[in-house]
């Protein structure tokens, strides 16, 4: 479920104040550092919350947090505090100011090193943090997993600061190191920057480095090593501003000041809250989310985070639907032969699969089976992927159109393609008597008409009735005086006896009866077929595949597809072939890995119409599409990409 999905983008530039949010001010105190949609419609936010002193705010619950997604307001499903640790980087920008010694002969660097080692000896987080040391002389100890390794590295580091030239390059290297992927998701970032006062020419570079640290969510804690006369200099103010903008701290040391507690300084960077909420996004596109945190002391709001999300309705697909269902009398219940509603099967199992084209599987609200456009069966609870179709209302042979609709919890719905299914009622001899009995009046009228027609027909054959008698009957109705006159004027001749042929002259009417020829109904709707072709590996499908007006699916999974293609290059549900109203066959690919190809060209998403003699590739399985009646077909020539091959089909 991970193909073709837009990655969510996080715009987390914390040095820009979010002034247009509906939640208010103090957007810097709440930072949304991570956004995940793998479990959509549940979305996960990674959030850090700090008070005015930039200490982490503990013990928050869902009652303290409000989420705004686009224009919708949500309460979190869950709020969990995590402590993944922090990436702690010590950036030693050493110079001559570190070499100055006190009255006991101890240099400032030795005092700083002793303070750091004291913290290392008291460290008790059991390999929770990630430790690094970078120095201006090129020394680097990066991503140490254990505090013991860090203590050993710092103990063995004994430079001579008098020979070193300070440079802001060491701060840039520390910020770049903070951008490395953390060993644990959600780890904070803390840089302890030990430096002399920078030169005025470096002030602009210092501002740029501060912006880079903000983008990396790295807090910079500045320890300026210098004489007290420089504590309020412009250089000191530039370093103090760097610490403030990155939500760190500033400390100036001349040799007599007390060092701040390193553990207290770093600890707020070790925590974050994982917040999960149920999204109601129903359309693909760009969306935004922000949070508001309410405490007893103040209300804090986050910056706005935007992300792109693709949301599509579920796609239901029939799994090997029946082409024909034959209902007949239950031989174990002969007493019910007269009741067509008791014919078996009484129900038909219909299986479906539901795909999520947006690769975000989610819970379903319902699935509905439609028969001839009318909802017949519905699932409102698990299992959603099967129906028991009631067949008792169908008491006559006929074709019906099946379609299934799926609706998810977001209210997005979609219907499958239409699938024809024929229901055939198989009557027994006794059943025919039942039908006659139920329609006795109609049957009696039809039988009477048949008997009367047969009697008349028989009399015509026997010569009892002659069609010419009707004309003679008209002549006999003329006035008698006319007949008398004609009799007097015509000579009288004795009548000759009729011959045997004349007696049976009525049979000429039988010859005039036209008996219509019986029309032969088509026995099959098969209009084309797929002819297997042996591929370059010597494999081919074992038999031809008939194609009609119904849909056929192809794949390596015998449950999901009607035609089983046993080859590792074929997906579970690889492709399908269907027929439109004009009787043309179309082939569609089902987002397969190897793709579906016709005449050495990959078919588009909207499918391709097949023509006689087309060559089809489903993975490495080859077929030739052939029409049953190809009399009007014009021979096609298919040429491969290699002009010299001259291959023709």
Q: 422 with 398: CB under 8 angstroms?
A: yes
Same domain, 141 and 74: no
**Helices assigned H by DSSP within 42-186:** 108-122, 147-155, 169-178
Model confidence band, residue 335 (pLDDT cutoffs 50, 70, 90): low
What is the dihedral angle through the alpha carbons of 161, 162, 167, 168, rounded to the nearest 10 degrees? 40
Give the total number of structural domains in the chain: 4
Q: Where residue 418 falls among pLDDT bands split at 50, 70, 90?
A: very high
Same domain for 575 and 535:
yes
pLDDT tens digits for range 119-156: 999 887 766 899 999 999 999 999 998 999 999 999 99
Residues 347 and 395 in one domain: yes
Question: Which residue's entry shows tokens 């004489």?
Answer: 227
Domain holding 416, by residue range, is 315-426
Considering the entire predicted model, what is its pTM?
Answer: 0.56
Question: How many CA within 13 A on the CB side of residue 481?
Answer: 0
Instruction: Give every CB contact of residue 54 below 8 A, 6+ residues apart in sequence.
Output: 219, 247, 268
User: What are the Cα distances from residue 261, in Å, to 121, 264, 434, 575?
Assistant: 13, 5, 100, 66
**Higher-confidence position of 19 and 119:** 119
As a dihedral over the C-alpha atoms of residue 14, residue 20, residue 24, residue 29, rounded to 10 degrees, the angle is 0
Same domain? 134 vs 235: yes
Check which CATH number belongs to the domain holding 615 and give it: 2.60.200.20
Residue 56: closest CA among 219, 287, 241, 280 = 219
Listed as own residue / partner, the contacts of 368-375 with beta carbons closer than 8 Å and 24 or more positions apart are 368/404, 368/405, 368/407, 369/402, 369/403, 369/404, 370/402, 370/403, 370/404, 370/405, 370/415, 371/400, 371/401, 371/402, 372/400, 372/401, 373/401, 373/403
Q: Specify whether 398 is located in the same domain as 533.
A: no
Secondary structure element (H or E) that encloses residue 142, with its range: strand 140-144
Read off the pLDDT band of 497 (50, 70, 90). low
Instruction: Say if 454 falls within a structural domain.
Output: no
| Between 24 and 461, the higher pLDDT residue | 461
Domain boundary residue, one of 379, 396, 426: 426
376: in domain: yes
Residue 71 carries which DSSP code? T
- The answer to whether the CB of 360 falls within 8 A of the CB of 315 is no
Which of the four pLDDT bands, split at 50, 70 and 90, describes residue 341? confident
Predicted pLDDT at 457: 83
First to last CA, the chain: 39
Q: Are the CB atoms for 132 and 141 separated by under 8 Å?
A: yes
> Is there a single domain that holds both residue 284 and residue 327?
no
Burial of 469 (0-12, 13-18, 19+ CB in 10 A): exposed
Alpha-carbon distance of 22 to 304, in angstroms, equals 10
Do 280 and 264 lie in one domain? The reply is no
Inside any domain, residue 561? yes
Identify whether 22 is part of a domain.
no
Residues 294 and 353 in one domain: no
**What gap in Å lies between CA 534 and CA 223, rounded to an integer?**
76
Q: Please give the structure tokens belonging to residue 338.
A: 């007269």
Whole-number Å distance between alpha carbons of 475 and 473: 5
- 501: in domain: no
243 and 362 co-located in one domain: no
Indicate whether 509 pLDDT > 90.
Answer: no
Residues 104, 70 share a domain:
no
Instruction: Give the chain's mean pLDDT.
Output: 83
Residue 649 has pLDDT above 50, yes or no: no
How crowded is residue 23: how many other Cβ atoms within 10 Å of its Cβ? 20
In this structure, is residue 473 part of a structural domain? no
Q: What CATH number is attached to the domain comprising 92? A: 3.40.50.410
| Same domain for 405 and 259 | no
Q: Which are the contacts of 349, defined by CB distance < 8 A and separation ≥ 6? A: 386, 387, 388, 389
Whether 245 and 162 map to the same domain: the answer is yes
Sequence-distant (≥ 6) Cβ neighbours of residue 122 within 8 angstroms: 263
Residue 488 domain-assigned (yes or no): no
pLDDT digits (tens, 9 = 90+) for 241-292: 999 999 999 999 999 999 999 999 999 999 999 999 999 999 999 999 999 9
The token pair that represents 609 in the structure block = 């119409």
Determine, yes or no, domain membership for 467: no
Over range 296-317, report the average pLDDT: 93
Are 368 and 375 in contact by the 8 Å Cβ rule? The answer is yes
């Amino acid at each position: 479920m991970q193909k073709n999905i837009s990655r969510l983008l996080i715009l987390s530039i914390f040095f820009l104040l979010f002034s247009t949010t509906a939640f208010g001010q103090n957007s810097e105190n709440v930072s949304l550092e991570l956004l995940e949609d793998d479990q959509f419609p549940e979305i996960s936010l990674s959030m850090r919350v700090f008070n005015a002193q930039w200490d982490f705010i503990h013990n928050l619950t869902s009652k303290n947090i409000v989420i705004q997604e686009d224009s919708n307001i949500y309460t979190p499903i869950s709020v969990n505090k995590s402590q993944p640790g922090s990436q702690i980087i010590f950036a030693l920008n050493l110079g001559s100011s570190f070499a100055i010694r006190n009255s006991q002969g101890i240099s400032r660097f030795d005092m700083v090193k002793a303070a750091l080692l004291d913290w290392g000896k008291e460290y008790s987080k059991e390999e929770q943090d990630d430790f690094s040391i970078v120095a201006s002389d090129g020394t680097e100890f990066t991503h140490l997993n254990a505090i013991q390794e860090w203590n050993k590295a710092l103990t063995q580091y004994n430079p001579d600061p008098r020979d070193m030239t300070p440079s802001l390059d060491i701060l840039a290297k520390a910020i770049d190191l903070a951008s490395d992927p953390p060993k644990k998701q959600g780890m904070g970032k803390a840089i302890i920057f030990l430096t002399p006062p920078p030169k005025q020419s470096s002030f602009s570079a210092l501002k740029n480095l501060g912006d880079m640290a903000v983008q990396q969510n790295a807090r910079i804690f500045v320890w300026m090593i210098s004489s007290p006369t420089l504590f309020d200099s412009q250089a000191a103010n530039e370093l103090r501003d760097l610490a403030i903008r990155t939500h760190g701290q500033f400390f100036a040391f001349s040799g007599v000041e007390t060092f701040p507690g390193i553990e207290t300084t770093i600890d707020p960077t070790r925590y974050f809250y994982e917040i999960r909420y149920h999204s109601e996004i129903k359309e693909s596109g760009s969306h935004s989310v922000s949070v508001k945190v309410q405490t007893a002391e103040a209300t804090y709001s986050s910056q706005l985070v935007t992300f792109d999300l693709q949301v599509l309705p579920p796609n239901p697909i029939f799994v090997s639907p029946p082409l024909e269902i034959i209902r007949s009398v239950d031989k174990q219940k002969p007493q019910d032969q007269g009741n067509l509603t008791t014919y078996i099967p009484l129900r038909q199992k219909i299986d479906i699969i539901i795909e999520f084209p947006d690769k975000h599987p989610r819970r379903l609200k319902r699935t509905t089976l439609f028969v001839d456009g009318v909802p017949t069966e519905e699932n409102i609870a698990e299992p959603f992927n099967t129906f028991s179709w009631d067949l008792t209302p169908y008491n006559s042979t006929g074709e019906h159109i099946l379609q299934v609709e799926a609706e998810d919890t977001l209210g997005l719905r979609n219907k499958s393609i239409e699938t024809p299914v024929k229901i055939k009622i198989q009557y027994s001899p006794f059943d025919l008597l039942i039908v006659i009995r139920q329609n006795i009046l109609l049957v009696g009228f039809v039988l009477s008409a048949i008997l009367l027609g047969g009697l008349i027909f028989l009399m015509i054959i026997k010569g009892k009735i002659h069609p010419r008698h009707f004309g003679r009957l008209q002549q006999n109705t003329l006035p008698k005086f006319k007949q008398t006159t004609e009799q007097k004027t015509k000579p009288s001749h004795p009548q000759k006896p009729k011959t045997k042929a004349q007696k049976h002259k009525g049979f000429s009417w039988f010859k005039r009866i036209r008996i219509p020829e019986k029309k032969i109904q088509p026995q099959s709707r098969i209009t084309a077929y797929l002819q297997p072709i042996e591929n370059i590996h010597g494999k081919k499908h074992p038999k031809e595949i008939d194609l009609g007006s119904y849909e056929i699916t192809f794949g390596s999974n015998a449950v999901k597809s009607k035609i089983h293609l046993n080859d590792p290059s074929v997906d579970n549900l690889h492709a399908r072939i269907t027929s439109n109203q004009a009787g043309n066959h179309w082939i569609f690919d089902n987002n397969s890995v190897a793709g579906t190809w016709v005449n050495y060209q990959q078919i588009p998403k909207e499918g391709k119409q097949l023509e006689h003699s087309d060559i089809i590739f489903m993975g490495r399985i080859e077929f030739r599409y052939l029409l049953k009646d190809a009399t009007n077909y014009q021979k096609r020539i298919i040429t491969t990409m290699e002009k010299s091959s001259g291959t023709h089909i």
